């Protein structure tokens, strides 16, 4: 047998499921990596983090002991709570390996998003059959929600990967008990230790769920202390930066955190009663489930259920809802979640009588989802974007799987039509969102849509640098709806080349005149002022005011 025949023999032995999963992975990688540099979101938060990482790489600063601040956690005079530094460590390592540039700093998010695809299949396979798990994994791979958050650097973008790792490790602990392998012991410690530092929400949620199952294992007398001790050791090792900082600073960060969740020092929260917050919580979870699955509607919670049922607001809501398609999608989304939660509860009650892998999987998921509702109660007091719900990104997949399993009991053509319609609608809605966004980016219209992408901001920075005339500094102004979110990324890119920037406010006529430094102004439209040089870069007019 020659080498070619041997290869064919090996390939024939590979199961079809592996080939299908490989194809799903290739599609997922393509969607996440396509035009990664040019379409990379690079806003103020990303520029701030990139500047910090650059200082570490250039040996101007030590590795940080704390990470990003939690917005709204306190007033500026009292300081804000800061999560752990692990995300900065990911970026620093990536910069050292691949280069110190914004797209390289986002590689960890890209890599973890790609790795979450096969991990999602392993996770779903714990309860659903192979074919259904492949179908659901395929929907996750093409999810606009998941792909979008793989396309820029942000501390919570890697939460889906570590959520799956955390739940799988907990599942192994519950299934294997004292026989759980050391690999999963380390994985649980790693998922807990990293998830604790990615966002305040995952910090509380992972800790609460892990503590619950620790207490449950003690109650059931199935605990293996030495393995839980290793979990603790891994967790402490990964969080050593925070621990050192707390001892050095009299636990100041912990005090800010406790003040925030006690409700005594929150800067941006609206005044919302506990009952109203619980209502908002359910409302936002329902909306988030549908948005994550379909990408239809707004990317933040509209609180539509409360608007409809509030006596003093319902008429205004109906009168102002001109977009009937949006209203229809909200109704479908509500039915999707309510039916999904009903099926999940039904499966949980049914599985309770069994002590098998399926019952343990469902109970783990139910506890985790229930905990997520409690954790989100204080969060929904303010404006809530659906990105905060990436802690439960897998819930719509579970709902779809349960729904398909439910329909599969009936032998009818209607079943096939209904399942095909649901899957086709999800694929079509996500494809439409991809098409719409790619049109903006191909047309260089991202900034006009309040999206700052590297491929649009780099030429603007280059134009300013090329026309800085050797000056050590330049002035930058612009229409407020551009300069408010473009200035910080521009400042970072220009400063990398040794040129400082100063922002000025007001109209183009308010620009500095008595200066030798170049003065630039950004606008959506051409100026009516005569004899002013400008360059149209993408869809943005860049004026050079004192040439």
Q: What is the pLDDT of residues 514-547, one digit of tens each?
A: 778 899 999 988 877 777 888 899 889 999 888 6
For residue range 19-66, list pLDDT tens digits in order. Answer: 999 999 999 999 999 999 999 999 989 999 999 999 999 999 999 999
- Contact at 8 Å (CB) between 83 and 155? yes
Q: Which residues pair with 543 in a beta bridge?
A: 521, 534
Phi-psi region of 218 (alpha: psi -120 to 50; beta: other; left: phi over 0): alpha
The count of other CB atoms within 10 Å of the CB of residue 14 is: 10
Q: Which residues pair with 478 in a beta bridge?
A: 522
Is the C-alpha dihedral spanning 383, 504, 456, 94 positive or negative?
A: negative
pLDDT of residue 68: 87
Tell me the pLDDT band of 354, cut-offs 50, 70 and 90: low
Tell me the pLDDT band of 267, cut-offs 50, 70 and 90: very low
Mean pLDDT of all residues in the chain?
Answer: 86
CA distances from 506 to 450, 477, 515 (A): 19, 8, 17
Q: In the predicted model, what is the mean pLDDT of residues 292-302?
A: 85
Residue 102 pLDDT > 80: yes
The count of other CB atoms within 10 Å of the CB of residue 6 is: 10
CA angle 446, 452, 455 (to 5 degrees): 75
Q: What is the secondary structure of 244-278 as a DSSP string?
A: HHHHHTTTHHHHHHHHHHTTSS-SS-----HHHHH
Instruction: State the DSSP code for 181.
Output: -
For residue range 491-513, list pLDDT tens digits in order. Answer: 999 999 999 999 998 888 888 87
- For residue 148, the SS3 value is helix
CA angle 425, 426, 429 (to 5 degrees): 80
Residue 265 pLDDT > 50: no
pLDDT of residue 296: 84
pLDDT of residue 73: 47
Q: pTM score > 0.85 for this model?
A: yes
pLDDT of residue 362: 93
Tell me the pLDDT band of 312, cut-offs 50, 70 and 90: very low
pLDDT of residue 256: 83
Higher pLDDT, 73 or 174: 174
Q: In sequence order, which residues have a C-beta less than 8 Å from that of residue 12 and are 6 or more positions away?
A: none
Nearest to 446 by CA among 34, 113, 43, 147: 43
Percent of the chain with pLDDT over 90: 53
- E strands, 182-259, in order: none
Residue 276 pLDDT > 70: yes
Dist. CA 518–CA 305, nearest whole Å: 53
pLDDT of residue 305: 53
Domains parsed from the chain with CATH numbers: 1-63+86-156 (no CATH), 274-397 (no CATH), 449-544 (3.40.190)
CA–chain centroid gap for 121, Å, is 19
Q: In the predicted model, what is the mean pLDDT of residues 127-145?
A: 95
User: Which range has the top average pLDDT, 27-36, 80-89, 283-292?
Assistant: 27-36
pLDDT of residue 37: 94
């Amino acid at each position: 047998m020659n080498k070619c025949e041997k290869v064919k023999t090996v390939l024939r032995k590979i199961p079809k499921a592996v080939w299908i999963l490989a194809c799903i992975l290739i599609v997922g990688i393509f969607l996440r990596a396509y035009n990664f540099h040019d379409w990379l979101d690079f806003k103020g938060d990303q520029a701030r983090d990139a500047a910090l990482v650059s200082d570490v790489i250039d040996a101007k600063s030590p590795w940080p002991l704390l990470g990003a601040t939690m917005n709204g956690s306190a007033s500026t005079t009292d300081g804000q709570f800061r999560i752990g530094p692990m995300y900065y460590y990911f970026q620093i390592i990536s910069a050292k390996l691949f280069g110190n540039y914004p797209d390289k700093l986002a590689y960890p998010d890209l890599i973890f998003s790609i790795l979450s695809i096969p991990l999602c299949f392993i996770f779903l396979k714990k309860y659903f059959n192979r074919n259904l798990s492949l179908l659901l994994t395929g929907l996750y791979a093409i999810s606009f929600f998941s792909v979008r958050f793989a396309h820029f650097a942000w501390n919570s973008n890697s939460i889906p990967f570590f959520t799956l790792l955390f739940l799988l490790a907990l599942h192994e602990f519950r299934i294997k008990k004292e026989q759980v392998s050391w690999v999963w012991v380390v994985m649980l410690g790693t998922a807990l230790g990293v998830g604790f530092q990615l966002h305040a929400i995952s910090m509380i949620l992972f800790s609460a769920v892990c503590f619950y199952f620790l207490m449950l294992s003690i109650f059931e007398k199935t605990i293996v202390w030495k393995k839980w001790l290793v979990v603790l050791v891994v967790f402490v090792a990964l969080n050593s930066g925070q621990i050192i900082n707390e001892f050095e600073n009299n636990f100041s960060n912990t005090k800010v955190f406790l003040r925030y969740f006690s409700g005594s020092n929150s800067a941006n929260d609206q005044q919302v009663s506990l009952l109203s917050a619980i209502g908002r919580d359910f409302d936002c979870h329902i909306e988030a489930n549908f948005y994550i699955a379909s990408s239809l509607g707004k990317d933040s919670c509209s609180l539509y259920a409360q608007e409809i049922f509030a006596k003093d607001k319902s008429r205004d809501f109906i009168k102002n809802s001109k977009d009937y398609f949006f209203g229809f999608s909200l109704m479908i989304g509500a039915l999707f979640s309510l039916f999904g939660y009903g099926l999940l509860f039904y499966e949980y009650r049914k599985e309770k009588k069994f002590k098998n892998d399926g019952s343990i999987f469902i109970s783990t998921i139910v506890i985790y989802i229930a905990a997520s509702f409690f954790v989100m109660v204080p969060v929904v007091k303010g404006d809530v974007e659906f990105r905060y719900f990436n802690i439960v990104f897998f819930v719509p997949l579970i709902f779809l799987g349960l729904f398909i399993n439910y329909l599969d009991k009936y032998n009818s053509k209607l079943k096939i039509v209904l399942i095909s319609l649901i899957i086709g609608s999800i694929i079509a809605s996500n494809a439409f969102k991809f098409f719409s966004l790619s049109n903006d980016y191909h047309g260089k219209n991202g900034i006009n849509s309040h999206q700052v992408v590297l491929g649009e901001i780099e030429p603007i920075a280059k134009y300013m640098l090329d026309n800085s005339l050797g000056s050590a500094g330049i002035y930058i102004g612009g229409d407020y709806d551009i300069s408010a979110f473009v200035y910080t990324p521009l400042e970072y890119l220009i400063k990398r080349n040794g040129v400082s920037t100063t922002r000025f406010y007001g109209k183009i006529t308010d620009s500095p005149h008595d200066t030798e430094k170049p003065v630039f102004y950004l606008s959506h439209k051409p100026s009516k002022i005569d004899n002013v040089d400008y360059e149209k870069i993408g869809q943005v007019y860049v004026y050079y005011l004192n040439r």
